[in-house]
Amino acid sequence: MIGFISDWGCSEHYVGVTKAVIKSIHPEASVIDVTHDIEPFNIRKAAHILHRAARDFPAKSVFLVVVDPGVGTSRKAIAMKTKNNQYYVGPDNGLFTFVGDAFGVVEIRELENKKLRFSGSNTFHGRDVFAPAAAYLDRGISMEELGSRFMTYEILRFRRPHKKGNLISGEVAYSDRFGNLQTNIPSEMLGSFDDFYAATVNSRGKTHKASLCKTYMEAKHGEIIVHPDSSGFLEIAATKDNAERILGLREGDLVEIELE
């Protein structure tokens, strides 16, 4: 199974021809389009969405991730295997920060084997370099056949989630199409709903009262809520409204949730 993430959209031919290359190498491949609607060049959002998606994919899955503003430059092309027996293929630009941190890294290989490439384009490595590597990995070749061992990988800077007493801190991972603010704070840091009834969201020098809810409709229209999302993290939302607009927060912003 190959999970495919990009910032290409679906209005041009890029996604289609890349999947055609995968199928030409590995006709039995099952390619799952996780999303192709990452904002152009938004590596951080792609890295967070990859982490969330990977939690629901089985072992031996291969992820083809192409958000690559540095295509054709000296940035490396890599494949990574993690300790949960998943594989990740893409540019070495920080895309694998959160899966590497969460799951642990077994090995990294630079994609040096030109026999495993489709073509020699300088600007379409998604089709020519990364897609063939993902297809061959899914078909069963070893990591060693891709190229030499790579000892490190690019890591994005981020705030690790932390809890001290009733104060939980972390950062905004990204906002979704509804304006819900996805954080990098694991849901288990919240503890039991029976222990708390409300929260205060602190960020950018402002405080906002919020309700602790299990569903969006437990609060009034426009009310800020904090709840565990479907991927195992805390989400800050506004019932039938846009929390990103109301709170003025952006991805990477520090966020503190004070439980009451």
d(CA 136, CA 133): 5
* Residues 30, 138 within the same domain: yes
Residue 206's pLDDT is 82
Domain count, the chain: 2
**CATH number where 169 lies:** 2.40.30.90
* Residues 48, 104 within the same domain: yes
Structure tokens at 104: 């642990």
For residue 215, with 0-12 CB atoms within 10 Å meaning exposed, 13-18 middle and 19 or more buried, which class applies? exposed
Residue 196's pLDDT band (boundaries 50, 70, 90)?
low
Residue 202's pLDDT band (boundaries 50, 70, 90)?
confident
* Residues 207, 243 within the same domain: yes
Supply the range of the domain harboring residue 137.
Answer: 2-146
* Residues 135, 107 within the same domain: yes
> Which amino acid belongs to residue 162?
H
* Residues 105, 171 within the same domain: no
Calculate the CA 149 to chain-centre distance: 24
Structure tokens at 38: 């990452």
- The proportion of the chain whose per-residue pLDDT surpasses 70, expressed as a percent, equals 98
Measure CA of the first residue to CA of the last residue in the chain; give whole Å: 44
Q: By the 8 A CB rule, do 162 and 189 touch? A: no
Q: By the 8 A CB rule, do 213 and 219 touch? A: yes
pTM of the full structure: 0.94
Residue 195's pLDDT band (boundaries 50, 70, 90)?
low
